[in-house]
Structure 1
């Protein structure tokens, strides 16, 4: 594939037309048109739908722009780093993070990172869904207990666990159904298995309220509506100050937060810097450490 033709295609796609691309890049319109036509011919696909007054990317053209555009940016940044004689973090860094971690810690993390690395343009979006890093142009994603993916590598940086908590006036009685607040859609679950200091019990439950985020569930539990299963890091201060009491731990694996990035690409200086910053923020990676970080 002709790299020059690829650069010209990305230029035209970003400007939305040959005329605007020619004015923006200083390259002749005829040259841009010819290069794009040659690229289409070599690939055997149409990259643009050409109308009398408009130029629109095809589905294949959009996919090529997303992937090639990110790679060309990385090439430019690598060349700039080499030319400057160092690997100082700079350029755009796009991160996807889950809702709860974004609400509690990501704002502080992002601000601190930006102050330390002012030449990095940090963009953080909140997504609980498993985003496609390459297709959507992310440099790094933070995920909770991610499924194995051969195209991604990363490191675990935080560990948490779910605990059952309630306001002090509610009783943990395994013989009677207790009101509970859940995250998500109300279901037909009738019991929770929890581990207590005296052993494992099956708690009979009655789902009385359904909310879409963990912070909303915690706030409802503080009001005494019912018990809930919540991350220890989110309620540790409420437990310490007596606003909530801990009935036990939810049976099952612990919650692990991972920072993931594509394994096929070289790790950029900005991604390495952010991974190091996470390690500095959470050197032990415990739930109590996350709670303390949020409370500071």
Structure 2
């Protein structure tokens, strides 16, 4: 099998078209098209479905891309490690991180890492969805309470928990649900189960405001429109300064942020360096540690 043809096929698959791939790699479009056609002929399969304005991987093309993309990445990383003596992380590092963590901590983390490792070209995108690391060419993903995935390995580096908080001026009515701010669409009246210093309690709530991010929920709760369920790290300073009052800890499993990478991919110096940087930033991985980091 022609390795150059495999490289060109991966280039086209990654950019989703011959024109885009040609512009990105400064290669003739006709050359890429010929290489892919020769590869299809040698394998006796169609790798792309070619439309008038679109190019999509076939099932066989997707399988080939998922397998060979990893191998080509490892070859590039091995060559880079040898060229640099295996000591200094270098090259592009693509990371996907969830919205709230990106808004509160990722900017500072990325800046510090970039200054410490100037030979690494760091790219961070914000995604709450579970991205496909292979197809979308990510080296590392940060996920909240991820589902088990045999294709990924990693570890949690931060833990948090949800608490119910409200403005100190907001009183809990004796015979009616309390107004609430929720993330997402407004639902029907419900009950939030919490743990308090005196035991378990039930808080009947009537969602009055639905917002799309935790940061927006916090601002609305601060304004006094209702109670909200928020990560402790996000409201820790407000609680200590008396700007918000704690109504209780939400019952159930807490929140864990995981750093994950593909099991089939050799751990590159770039990914290893970023994992070490996370450990240095959050050695204990507690909500208070995240709150202190964000507060700085």
Return the TM-score normalized by structure 2. 0.87
- Aligned pair in 2 of structure 1 residues 169, 3: CA closer, same or farther (>3 Å)? same
In 1: Cα distance, 2:254 partner to 2:50 partner: 54
- Aligned pair in 2 of structure 1 residues 9, 197: CA closer, same or farther (>3 Å)? closer
Alignment of 1:99-248 (within 5 A): 99-173=99-173, 175-248=175-248
Q: Which residue of 1 aligns with 2:88?
A: 88
Q: Which residue of 2 aligns with 1:284?
A: 284
In 2: Cα distance, 1:213 partner to 1:193 partner: 22
Whether contact under 8 Å (1:174, 1:203) holds in the other structure is: no
- Aligned pair in 2 of structure 1 residues 227, 8: CA closer, same or farther (>3 Å)? closer
Does 2:47 align with 1:59? no
Gaps of 5+ in 2: none
Partner SS for 1:46: coil
Cα displacement string for residues 223-248 of structure 1 (whole angstroms, at most 9, x for unaligned residues)? 01011010000000000111001011
Q: Which structure has the greater CA radius of gyration?
A: 1
Q: How large is the Cα RMSD of the aligned pairs?
A: 2.7
In 2: Cα distance, 1:171 partner to 1:114 partner: 47
Does 2:18 align with 1:16? yes
Cα displacement string for residues 145-189 of structure 1 (whole angstroms, at most 9, x for unaligned residues)? 111111111010000000000000112356431111000011124
In 2: Cα distance, 1:156 partner to 1:9 partner: 35
Alignment of 1:43-54 (within 5 A): 43-47=43-47
Whether contact under 8 Å (2:46, 2:61) holds in the other structure is: no
Task: Give the number of equivalent residue pairs.
Answer: 288
Whether contact under 8 Å (1:16, 1:56) holds in the other structure is: no
